[in-house]
Structure 1
Amino acid sequence: MDQIETIENEIEEQEDTLITEGGKVTFEASEEECPIRLDKYLCQKLDISRTRAADFLDQKRVTVNGKIMKASYKIQVHDQIDVDVPPLDKMEVLPEKMDLDIVYEDHDVIVINKPKGMVVHPAPGHYSQTLVNGLLEHCDDLSGINGVKRPGIVHRIDKDTSGLLVVAKNDQAHESLAKQLADKTCKRTYLAIVHHPFSHKIGTVNAPIGRDEKNRQKMAVTAKNSRDAVTHFTVLQNFKDYAYVECRLETGRTHQIRVHMAYIGHPVAGDEKYGPRKTIPANGQLLHAYQLEFEHPTTHEHMVFNAKLEPKFQEVLDELKQEEE
């Protein structure tokens, strides 16, 4: 069980735990973020609603440079914002009917092609319309290893990343898939459009990832409180200002591809968290989990699944190719 817990911690968003269980968090406003209203800043940093941000302010849980401020206060560069986040009440995760793109399903696993914009499991700010809500409506035999909030979830992909993930329908399947992730035999391959063309065809980023000390809602390449992270990439096509790349995960750290690509000077297009604000308007990063490989937990068959690019990604890619003609 320890190995399963390790792989789950590895791919779990750390801020989910902070905001669910409560705790103190500190931010320092950067030049790129300013000026911005205090309440809006809290919404962005903590991924909470405007109403919940207002509650924090009314309860005097937020200080700016040690002082209580109104919601309308405009954050300035280098302001220190301290938030005493209260724990959430326990959430009841309810089944919700939705049109899931199920690529494969049997008694042990479900392979889902998750659309861009869908959150994998309930978390602060996202209590419904998550993949878990849809799965609970679709079937009632998900594994219970991760508890009521994340039944069956073995690994996850970010809200604005589209593509494939596998869900376990029983504990035996969950244990097998988690072990494959830990042993690096479960292979996940992504496609991305990134800023700036490359001068070389292939590469590997081997750089540890941990929490960004200046912004707790971001990850960063750092030697402090970090874990090893390795991403292999192949340049599929260069364009004038962008490149189309394939990324293969050797490890599964939070935001790994987004952090690594930004670290080497090629941030994922559309990713305003780790890249420039002026980027391709795509409502989030142009990153797609297009291939998933694993050994079936029961039959031990080698299974490979592919998912075509989501419409907006394909549209942007086609436009870039046309510009090159």
Structure 2
Amino acid sequence: MSNQPITLTFDIKESPLLLRDAIKQYGISKKALTSIKYEGGTILVNGEEKTVRHILTVGDKVTIIFPNEKKSEGLIAEKGEFSILFEDDHLLIFTKEAGLSTIPSREHPNGTVANFVAGYFEENGLSSTVHIVTRLDKDTSGVICVAKHRHAHHLLSEMQKAGTISRDYEAIVHGFIKEDSFDIEAPIGRKDGSIIERFISPDGKYAKTSVQVLNRFHLHGEPLTHVRLKLHTGRTHQIRVHMMSIGHPLIGDDLYGGSLKFISRQALHARELKLKHPFSGEALMIKSPFPSDMENIIPSTATK
């Protein structure tokens, strides 16, 4: 892990071209550009500092040096354990355990993923804000992605908007699902009088989930189905609401009709994250190990 300033270098292949336009082409946000200008960053053309009004020609080498970020104000850095799946100077991807909130709240300012990441950054001498890219509900386990600096976060956010970050989940639901593969498209809104609960609403936001049955089995005489789910949108409680809406709530999800008989939390695990690395272009497929509390429910003869 390095605490050296983040640097982006690229060669100009067309001209004439304003430096401002070249910077925009490489996905640098206005916010990042402002921080470069006022917080200690530098823009170099062929090794010389230039303003964004400089006119570039073919063959020019542009170097953007981003300023070091300040630590997240008000975020308590804590030491915590998490299983790292991938890490470089731009990304930190790891497994979140069930029961751990992603970000702190006024009532619970510590003991969250963000607190532990801040502590990890501090321990390794990295001065940076904690940029959470993929959040998970408190009782959902699995792979979670953090950007180590503002520019990486911006690029990943744009990738999320474009739908080029793929997230696959696995869940165990009540009942036997008849179809082997299908999509659920149903808008989701916030339930009146609740800040937590969501429901299918014609006035809600568009949401789409793809469902694939992995296996069907009985546990103590009750039919259950192990499914793989792909999110095409990222609405709050999307999988939980969608599965409840078709009559197959997640086991352990008592908020949406699931029973606590077999597991004490919703049986939902963020299994796999696929994306193209925003800087190297490398195709990443990060898989989180299946959690023991869910694995223990599925018969050993079933294929996972």
Q: Give the TM-score normalised by the residue count of structure 1.
A: 0.66
Q: How much does 1:213 deviate?
A: 2.0
Is 1:231 the counterpart of 2:209 in the alignment?
A: yes
Rg larger in 1 or in 2? 2
1:112-145 C-alpha deviation (Å, 9 max, x unpaired): 100011111101432211111111111154764x
Is 1:298 the counterpart of 2:279 in the alignment?
A: yes
**AA in 2 matched with 1:158:** D
Is 1:314 the counterpart of 2:295 in the alignment?
A: yes
Q: 1:97 aligns with which of 69, 79, 88?
A: 79
Structure 1, unmatched stretches of 5+, are 5-90, 145-150
* Correspondence list, 1:120-269, <5 A: 120-140=102-122, 141=126, 144=129, 151-224=130-203, 226-240=204-218, 241-269=223-251
Q: How much does 1:200 deviate?
A: 1.1
Counterpart of 2:89 in structure 1 is 107
Aligned residues: CA RMSD: 2.1
Q: Please tell me whether the aligned partners of residues 119 and 126 of structure 1 are also in contact (alpha carbons under 8 angstroms).
A: no
Q: How much does 1:176 deviate?
A: 1.1
Instruction: Between 91-100 and 126-135, report the one with greater CA deviation.
Output: 91-100
Q: What is the CA–CA distance in structure 2 between the aligned matches of 1:320 and 1:126, rounded to whole Å?
A: 42
1:82-129 C-alpha deviation (Å, 9 max, x unpaired): xxxxxxxxx932111111211111000000100011111101432211
Q: Please tell me whether the aligned partners of residues 262 and 297 of structure 2 are also in contact (alpha carbons under 8 angstroms).
A: no
Q: Please tell me whether the aligned partners of residues 141 and 269 of structure 2 are also in contact (alpha carbons under 8 angstroms).
A: yes
Q: What is the CA–CA distance in structure 1 between the aligned matches of 2:177 and 2:206, rounded to whole Å?
A: 24
Q: Please tell me whether the aligned partners of residues 197 and 242 of structure 1 are also in contact (alpha carbons under 8 angstroms).
A: yes
Aligned CA distance change for structure 1 residues 116 and 221 (closer, same or farther; 3 Å): same
Q: How much does 1:318 deviate?
A: 3.2
Q: What is the CA–CA distance in structure 2 between the aligned matches of 1:318 and 1:126, rounded to whole Å?
A: 37
Higher percent of residues as helix: 1
Task: Report sequence identity in percent.
Answer: 32
Q: How much does 1:275 deviate?
A: 1.5
Q: Count residues in correspondence.
A: 226
Q: What is the CA–CA distance in structure 1 between the aligned matches of 2:98 and 2:171, rounded to whole Å?
A: 13
Q: What is the CA–CA distance in structure 1 between the aligned matches of 2:127 and 2:168, rounded to whole Å?
A: 25
Aligned CA distance change for structure 1 residues 222 and 302 (closer, same or farther; 3 Å): same
Q: Secondary structure at 2:289's aligned position in 1? A: coil
Q: How much does 1:319 deviate?
A: 6.9
Q: Give the TM-score normalised by the residue count of structure 2.
A: 0.70
1:281-317 C-alpha deviation (Å, 9 max, x unpaired): 4221000001001111110111101011111111112
Counterpart of 1:284 in structure 2 is 265
Q: What is the CA–CA distance in structure 2 between the aligned matches of 1:319 and 1:125, rounded to whole Å?
A: 41
Q: How much does 1:216 deviate?
A: 3.5
Q: Please tell me whether the aligned partners of residues 233 and 248 of structure 1 are also in contact (alpha carbons under 8 angstroms).
A: yes
Q: Please tell me whether the aligned partners of residues 76 and 109 of structure 2 are also in contact (alpha carbons under 8 angstroms).
A: no
1:185-211 C-alpha deviation (Å, 9 max, x unpaired): 100000000010011100100000110
Structure 2, unmatched stretches of 5+, are 1-28, 30-72
Q: What is the CA–CA distance in structure 2 between the aligned matches of 1:279 and 1:229, rounded to whole Å?
A: 27
Q: 1:272 aligns with which of 254, 257, 262?
A: 254
